Structure 1
Amino acid sequence: MQAVEVKSFLEGKLPGTQVEVEGEGCNFQLNVISDELAALSPVKRQQSIYAHLNPWIADGSIHAVTMKFFSSAAWAERT
């Protein structure tokens, strides 16, 4: 599994969301930039990502995922 695959997949499933992915193989770190997701509780944010990644987690393609969430304004301040 490549980072670019995870990025394309999640951005396709979550319109209006930018995903920066680091890692390779089965371990990934995600920076998720979305005003919509930033408004949710931390648990709901993670659930929204895991809902899409679960098939890959179940088959072992992805083993570990860490996530950080940002609004577009918070991301712009950071970079």
Structure 2
Amino acid sequence: MSTTPELIKTYIAAGLACSHLEVEGDGRHFSALIVSDAFAGKRPIARHQIVYAALGERMREEIHALSMKTLTPEEFAQHG
């Protein structure tokens, strides 16, 4: 079974409370816009580590490339 954007969205949402979540991709390369209160006060690398933790082993086994834009709800409101 190939990984789909919807599957990745489900995986992230299961491990991280998100107020907004978008995932796009072609089966190998994916991009995600993730908005969560968990990112407040965190640097970009720490935010990405939070997402990687939510994805767990799937990041190594199923997902080959994932680019992320990680925002707090306040940042999303300013950029949205």
What band does the TM-score fall into relative to the shorter chain?
Answer: 0.7 to 0.9
Give distance in 1, aligned partners of 2:44 and 2:72. 13
Q: TM-score, normalised by structure 1?
A: 0.80
AA matched with 1:27: H
Structure 1: state its 5+ residue gaps: none
Task: Determine the structure 2 residue equivalent to 1:68.
Answer: 69
CA distance in 2 between partners of 1:36 and 1:54 (Å): 17
* TM superposition shift of 1:63: 0.6
Structure 2 unaligned runs (5+)? none
Letter in 2 for 1:55: E
1:10 to 12, 17, 21: 12
Normalising by structure 2, report the TM-score. 0.79
Work out the number of aligned pairs and report it.
Answer: 78
Instruction: Check conservation: 1:31, 1:67, Cα contact below 8 A.
Output: yes
2:79 aligned partner, one-letter code: R
User: What residue number does 2:35 align with?
Assistant: 33
CA distance in 1: counterparts of 2:35 and 2:18, whole angstroms: 9
